[in-house]
C-alpha cells in the first residue's frame, strides 16, 4: 500500500535574481513588476521559498553598494511578503542588507560567505527568528574559480561548516535556525563538486538541514558539454541525487520541473 506522507518532502527554493548580470538569468527580472510576476509564477509552480538576490555571485561579477542592493531587493521582498503565502529568503553577505531584510520579514538569510562579513553575525543574532544558510566558498565570488585547491575537499568543507555553526551558536543563534550548504560551484573544480555530491551524506548527517544549489551550474555544462540554457536535465539528475542523499532544500531556476522530481524522489524514499 502507498504509504502516506510521514516526513515532509524537501523544500524547493526558487531563484529570483534582481540583478542586471546574474549567472544564467541575468537581467530577466530587473524591474519590480517583472520580478513580482515571476515570483507569482514560481509560487504557482510549487516553490516553498523564494530566494531574492540583488548582487550576482557569479565568478567575475561586479560588486554593488549596500544601498544599491537594498534598492533592488527590498521592494521585491515587501511585495512578495504582501502578496504570496510562501517563505522568503534574501541572498546577501552585507550586514546592512541583512538587517533591513530581517526587519522587512525575510524568513531566511542566505549568505554565501557564512556570516563572515563585518557585522553580519550580529545582524542575524539580533533576530530571534530568522533562519540563516551558512554556505562554504573557497575565496570570494570574484576569484573563486582561479585554481581551487583542497587536500581533502569533503573534510575541509565539513570542518569549515562546523566551525561556522559553532560561531553562530556562541553568538546566540539557535541550532534550529541554522542551515548548511557545501556550496557547489563556489571555489570548486568539477571533480570537487562531483565528489561532494557523492559524499553528501557526510553533510546531511551533521544534524542541520542541508541546502544545495546545483541548478544550471557550470559543472553540468562541463560534464555534459551543454550551454547554460541546456542544463535542465543535468540539474534535475543532481536534484534527485541530492534528495536521495538527504538534502532538505533544493535551490533552483526551474521550479515546476524540480518540484516534480523532488516529490517523486521523496515518495520513493518514504516507502518502507
Ligand atoms: C546565491 N547562491 C548561488 N548558488 C548558491 C548555492 O549553491 N547555495 C546557496 N546557499 N546560495 C547560492
pLDDT (tens digit, 9 = 90+) per residue, 176-216? Answer: 999 999 999 999 999 999 999 999 999 999 999 999 999 99
**Residue list, ligand 1 pocket, CB within 6 Å:** 53, 57, 91, 110, 112, 133, 135, 181, 183-184, 211, 213, 251
Please report the pLDDT score of residue 51 as a whole number. 98
Which protein residue has the closest C-alpha to ligand 1 atom 8? 213
The 3-state secondary structure of 197-228, one letter per residue: HHCCHHHHCCCCCEEEECCCCHHHHHHHCCCH
Identify whether the C-beta of residue 212 lies closer than 8 Å to the C-beta of residue 247. Answer: yes
Q: pLDDT > 90: what percent of the chain? A: 86
Q: What one-character DSSP code corresponds to residue 177?
A: G
Residues 6+ apart with CB under 8 A from 122: 95, 171
The cell numbers describing 184, all together, are 557547489
Measured from the Cα of 214, ligand 1's closest atom is 7
pLDDT at 1 over 70: no
What phi-psi label fits residue 241: left (phi over 0), alpha (psi between -120 and 50 degrees) or beta? alpha
What mean pLDDT, rounded, does the chain reach? Answer: 93
pLDDT at 234 over 80: yes
Mean pLDDT calculated for residue range 208-233: 98
Q: Please state the rounded mean pLDDT for residues 51-57.
A: 94
Q: Mapping DSSP to helix (H, G, I), strand (E, B) and coil, where does residue 269 land?
A: helix
DSSP character for 180? E
Beta-strand runs (E) in the chain: 11-17, 49-53, 87-91, 108-111, 131-135, 178-181, 211-213, 249-252
The answer on pLDDT for 26 being more than 80 is no
pLDDT level of residue 22 (50, 70, 90 thresholds) = low
> Domain 11-266 falls in which CATH fold?
TIM Barrel (3.20.20)
Active-site residue list: 217, 251
pLDDT tens column, 131-175: 999 999 998 887 777 788 999 999 999 999 999 999 999 999 999
Distance separating alpha carbons of residues 177 and 184, to the nearest angstrom: 22
User: Which of 51, 91, 250 maximizes ligand 1 atoms within 8 Å of its Cβ, making it the mutation to test the pocket?
Assistant: 91
pLDDT-based confidence at residue 25 (cuts at 50, 70, 90) = low
Residue 104 reports pLDDT greater than 70: yes
Residue 136's alpha-carbon distances to 56, 82, 113, 161, 178, in angstroms, are 16, 32, 7, 7, 14
Pocket probe for ligand 1: among 111, 182, 213, 215, the residue whose CB has the most ligand atoms within 8 Å is 213
> How far, in Å, CA of 134 to CA of 114, rounded?
4
- CA distance linking residue 265 with residue 71, whole number of Å: 39
- 2: pLDDT confidence band, cut at 50, 70 and 90? very low
Ligand 1 center from residue 146 Cα (angstroms): 18
Query: Across the chain, how many H-helices and E-strands are there?
Result: 10, 8
Neighbouring CB atoms inside 10 A of 139's CB total 14
Would you list the domain boundaries of the chain?
11-266
**Does the pLDDT value for residue 21 go beyond 70?**
no
Amino acid at each position: 500500500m502507498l504509504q502516506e506522507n510521514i516526513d515532509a518532502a524537501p523544500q524547493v527554493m526558487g531563484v529570483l535574481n534582481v540583478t542586471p548580470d546574474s549567472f544564467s538569468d541575468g537581467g530577466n527580472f530587473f524591474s519590480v513588476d517583472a520580478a513580482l510576476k515571476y515570483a507569482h509564477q514560481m509560487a504557482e509552480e510549487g516553490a516553498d521559498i523564494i530566494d531574492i538576490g540583488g548582487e550576482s555571485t557569479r565568478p567575475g561579477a561586479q560588486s554593488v553598494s549596500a544601498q544599491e542592493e537594498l534598492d533592488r531587493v527590498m521592494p521585491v521582498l515587501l511585495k512578495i511578503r504582501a502578496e504570496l503565502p510562501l517563505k522568503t529568503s534574501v541572498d546577501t553577505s552585507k550586514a546592512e542588507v541583512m538587517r533591513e531584510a530581517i526587519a522587512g520579514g525575510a524568513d531566511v538569510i542566505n549568505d554565501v560567505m557564512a556570516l563572515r562579513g563585518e557585522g553580519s553575525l550580529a545582524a542575524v543574532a539580533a533576530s530571534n527568528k530568522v533562519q540563516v544558510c551558512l554556505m562554504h566558498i573557497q575565496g570570494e565570488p570574484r576569484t573563486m574559480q582561479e585554481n581551487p585547491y583542497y587536500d581533502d575537499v569533503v573534510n575541509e568543507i565539513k570542518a569549515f561548516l562546523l566551525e561556522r555553526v559553532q560561531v553562530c551558536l556562541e553568538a546566540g543563534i539557535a541550532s534550529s535556525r541554522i542551515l548548511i550548504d557545501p556550496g557547489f560551484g563556489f571555489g570548486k573544480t568539477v571533480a570537487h563538486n562531483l565528489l561532494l555530491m557523492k559524499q553528501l551524506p557526510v553533510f546531511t548527517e551533521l544534524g542541520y538541514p542541508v541546502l544545495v544549489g546545483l541548478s544550471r551550474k557550470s559543472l553540468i555544462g562541463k560534464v555534459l558539454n551543454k550551454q547554460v540554457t541546456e542544463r535542465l536535465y543535468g540539474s534535475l539528475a543532481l536534484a534527485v541525487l541530492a534528495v536521495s542523499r538527504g538534502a532538505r532544500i533544493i535551490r533552483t531556476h526551474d521550479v515546476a520541473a524540480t518540484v516534480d522530481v523532488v516529490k517523486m524522489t521523496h515518495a520513493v524514499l518514504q516507502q518502507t
